[in-house]
Amino acid sequence: MTEGNFVDYLRIFSKSGKGGAGSVHLHREKYISKGGPDGGDGGRGGHIIIEGDKQMWTLYHLKFKQHFKAGHGGSGGKQNSSGKDGEDVTIKVPLGTIVKDIDSDELVFEISEHGEKRVLLEGGKGGRGNSHFKSPTNQTPRYAQPGMPSIEKSFRLELKLLADVGLVGFPNAGKSTLLSVLTKAKPKIADYPFTTLKPNLGIVPYRDHRSFVMADIPGIIEGAAEGKGLGHHFLRHIERNSVLLFMIPADTMDIKKDFAILKNELQKYNPELIDKKYLLAITKSDMLDDELQAEMQEELPEGEDFIFISSVAQTNLLELKDKMWELLQD
C-alpha cells in the first residue's frame, strides 16, 4: 500500500430519507358507496448505515465520494397499502474506524467487527394514513399524517490502524527501512525527518508459513500528545497495535532519555498504551563493534528487554521476528 493511497481521516456529509406521507382515501367499490377510510401508511425514509469490512485497510475509497443521500419513503395508497420504504445507503469502512460528530467532536460509535452495522442517521418515519383516525365521532376522517423529515449532518471518520506490531520512535529512527526489509512494503525512505507522513502496512513472513502485520507509524516528537508535530493524527493508530516495537538509533546521545520521552508521550495520550507488550530495539547497530555494544548496554534502561539490530546489514532480524512472535502469542 503506497502512502498516497492511505487515507485515515476524512469528512462525510450524510442525509437520510424523509418518510412518505400517509394516504387520505375512502373505500369505494361497486355497491359500496361509503366504505370508510382505507388510506395506508407512508413508508419510512432510508437509513444511512456504517458497516465494518475486514478486507479494507484504508478510507481511500471514500476520498472522492463524501456525500451520501438515502431514498425517500413512498406515500401510502388505498386499501390500507403502505408506501415503499426508502432505499438505505450503506457505507463500508475498515475495522477500527471511529465516527465523530463534527459539530460537537463527540464520539458517535466505533466499528470493530466484520459485518457490524450501525445506523448513522435514521430515515424519517412514514406518516399514518387516515384509516388510523377513524372514531365514533368521525367516521370519515379526511386527513393523514405527513412523513417525518429527513436528517442531514456531517461526520468525521478516523481510522485507528489495526496491526500486530506498531513501530514507535522519533523521526529518522529507521522504522521505514526496517519495514521495507522485513516486508514487501515500499515506504518512502530518506535521510530527513518526517519522511513518513502516513502509516504504512506490511506483512512480515515468519517460520512455517506464518506471518504478522507490521505498521510503520510517523515519528513521534516531544509534545506529540498535545498535538505538536503530527500529534494525534498518528498516536491514535498505536491504540490498536497488539505489540509495540520502540526503535532508537545507536547514535542517539541519550537512549535512556529518549526512551522515557517516547513512553511519556504515549502515556499522556492514553495511559493504557503503556500496558501493551513492547520491545526496545537499538537500530543502526552496524555502526557499533562488540566493545561499543557492551558499553552501550550499561547505559540502556534497566529491566527492559532489548535487541541490537541493523536493517541495512540485516543483523539480528530473524531474532527480532522471534521476539515479536513470542510477544504476540503471549
Q: Are residues 152 and 260 in the same domain?
A: no
| Residue burial 28-40, b: 16+ Cβ < 10 Å; e: rest | eeeeeeeeebbbb
The reply to whether 260 and 317 lie within a common domain is yes
**Does one domain contain both 233 and 93?**
no
Q: Is the same domain home to 207 and 95? A: no
174 & 135 share domain? no
Same domain, 236 and 124: no
Residue whose C-alpha is closest to residue 151's, from 123, 113, 184: 123
Give the Cα separation of 128 and 38 in Å (integer).
Answer: 11
Domain carrying residue 255 = 163-329
**What CATH number did the domain enclosing 118 receive?**
2.70.210.12
CB 71 within 8 A of CB 17: yes
Q: What is the pLDDT of residues 37-51, one digit of tens each?
A: 999 999 999 999 999
Q: Are 244 and 278 in contact (CB under 8 A)?
A: yes
> Does one domain contain both 203 and 122?
no
Contacts of 297 (CB under 8 A, 6+ apart): 306
Q: What is the pLDDT of residues 258-278, one digit of tens each?
A: 999 888 888 888 888 888 999
Query: What is the mean pLDDT, run by run of 10 residues, along the chain of 330 residues?
Result: 65 96 87 81 97 88 93 94 96 92 92 94 96 89 94 92 84 84 64 52 87 80 46 66 91 89 86 88 87 84 90 91 92
Of 159, 179, 211, the residue that ends a domain is 159
Q: What is the total count of domains within the chain?
A: 2
Considering the domain architecture, whether residues 202 and 305 belong to the same structural domain is answered as yes
| Domain CATH number, residue 237 | 3.40.50.300
Distance (Å, rounded) from C-alpha 236 to C-alpha 186?
23
* pLDDT of amino acid 225: 43
Contacts made by residues 226-229, CB under 8 angstroms, sequence distance 24+: 226/268, 229/194
pLDDT digits (tens, 9 = 90+) for 284-330: 888 888 888 888 888 888 888 999 999 888 899 999 999 999 999 97
Residue 162, all three cell numbers: 489495526
